[in-house]
């Protein structure tokens, strides 16, 4: 039978991120060898310390399963197509350097939720590799996924410190192939870990050039505004100084004139017979 629940609860704890469990339901359409289903509501939240709603949200997913493989050592999922998805790349700090834009973005990525999730996934995979079978996974069927496609993945970049951003980046496409084939199948948790790891890598690679461009434009705009403000302030200060100078000059002239007048009067006083 087609699995009715691909549970991601265990992996959620390992990722230190909430993972909403999707439900796989059989669709009416099926053939002799394949059955189509749909996944709804897959949401991967952020690790602790991040503020945005989620890392990845998948709403509209169709799945095609090779029903001839059900009951075998590994169930083969021929195709997974994601039609509606969005990701939020959140940065604790975006430290943009126009002299070294690529390097500064790479350094900033280390403060992002993508880096935190990658670290958690790596830890999960290492722990899973070092464990000789898990009791709770001993009867979980293994899976092989032939193809995963994510079309028009919406990407939003958010930064809270440094160069502050909250902007949409150009949409990207993600393609993954032959997941779990080399291993002869992976558990749902292992599949999820590998998929998240590859998605994170592709998102990072795809969005970096766009992020550099937007960060550069924002940086230039901010500094242009700041320069205008400084120039305006300089003009005000300069004008004020000129006005003060003019006032002082006038006062000096008046004092000089007054002193000359007093001197002439004193001379006149003593020159009187």
pLDDT tens-digit series, residues 17-68: 655 544 454 444 445 677 888 877 788 888 888 999 899 998 888 999 998 8
Cα–Cα–Cα angle for 157, 46, 124, nearest 5°? 125
Q: What's the pLDDT band for 228 if we cut at 50, 70, 90?
A: very low
Supply the pLDDT for residue 267. Answer: 40
pLDDT the model gives residue 99: 87
The pLDDT tens digits of the residues spanning 108-153 come to 999 999 999 888 888 887 776 655 455 445 567 899 999 999 988 9
Local structure of residue 67 (DSSP, 8 states): G
Q: What pLDDT is recorded for position 270?
A: 35
Task: Report how far residue 75's alpha carbon sits from residue 96's, in angstroms, rounded to the nearest whole number.
Answer: 46
pLDDT band at 241 (very low <50, low <70, confident <90, very high): very low
The pLDDT of residue 264: 47
Q: Assign 3-state DSSP to the chain and report helix, strand, coil percentages, each to 5.
A: 45, 30, 25
The predicted structure's pLDDT at residue 248: 40
- Structure confidence at residue 124 (pLDDT): 80
Q: Is the pLDDT of residue 80 over 50?
A: yes
Instruction: Using a cut of 0.85, tell me whether the model's pTM lies above it.
Output: no
Query: What pLDDT shows up at residue 131?
Result: 57
Q: According to the model, what pLDDT value does residue 12 have? A: 52
> What is the dihedral angle through the alpha carbons of 206, 212, 215, 221, rounded to the nearest 10 degrees?
-130
Q: Is the pLDDT of residue 221 over 50?
A: yes
Q: Distance between CA atoms of 253 and 272, rounded to whole angstroms?
A: 28
Higher pLDDT among residues 242 and 217, named by residue: 217
pLDDT (tens digit, 9 = 90+) per residue, 167-212?
A: 999 999 999 999 999 999 998 888 888 888 888 888 988 888 988 8
Q: Report the alpha-carbon distance of residue 263 to residue 261 in Å, rounded.
A: 5
Q: What is the pLDDT of residue 147?
A: 95
* Position 268 pLDDT exceeds 50: no
* Maximum distance among all Cα pairs of the chain, rounded to whole angstroms: 139
Residue 95 reports pLDDT greater than 90? no
- Please answer whether residues 93 and 115 qualify as being in contact, where contact means their C-beta atoms are separated by less than 8 angstroms: no
Torsion region of 52: left, alpha or beta (phi above 0 gives left; psi -120 to 50 gives alpha): beta
């Amino acid at each position: 039978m087609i699995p009715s629940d691909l549970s991601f609860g265990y992996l959620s704890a390992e990722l230190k991120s909430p993972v909403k469990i999707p439900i796989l339901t059989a669709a009416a359409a099926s053939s002799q060898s394949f059955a189509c289903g749909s996944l709804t509501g897959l949401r991967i939240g952020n690790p602790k310390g991040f503020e945005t709603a989620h890392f990845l949200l998948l709403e509209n997913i169709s799945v095609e399963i090779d029903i001839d493989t059900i009951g075998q050592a590994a169930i083969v999922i021929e195709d997974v197509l994601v039609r509606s998805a969005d990701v939020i790349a959140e940065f604790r700090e975006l430290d943009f350097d126009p002299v070294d834009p690529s390097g500064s973005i790479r350094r900033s990525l280390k403060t992002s939720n993508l880096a935190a999730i990658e670290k958690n996934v790596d830890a999960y995979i290492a722990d899973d590799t070092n464990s000789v079978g898990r009791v709770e996974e001993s009867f979980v069927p293994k899976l092989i996924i032939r193809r995963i496609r994510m079309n028009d993945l919406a990407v939003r970049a958010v930064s809270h410190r440094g160069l502050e951003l909250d902007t949409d980046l150009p949409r990207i496409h993600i393609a993954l192939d032959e997941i779990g084939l080399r291993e002869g199948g992976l558990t749902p948790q292992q599949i999820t870990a590998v998929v998240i790891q590859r998605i994170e890598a592709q998102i990072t690679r795809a969005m970096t050039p766009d992020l550099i461009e937007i960060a550069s434009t924002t940086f230039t705009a901010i500094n242009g505004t700041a320069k205008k403000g400084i120039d305006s302030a300089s003009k005000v200060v300069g004008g004020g100084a000129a006005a003060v100078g003019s006032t002082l000059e006038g006062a000096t002239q008046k004092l000089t004139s007054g002193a000359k007048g007093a001197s002439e009067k004193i001379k006149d006083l003593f020159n009187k017979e």
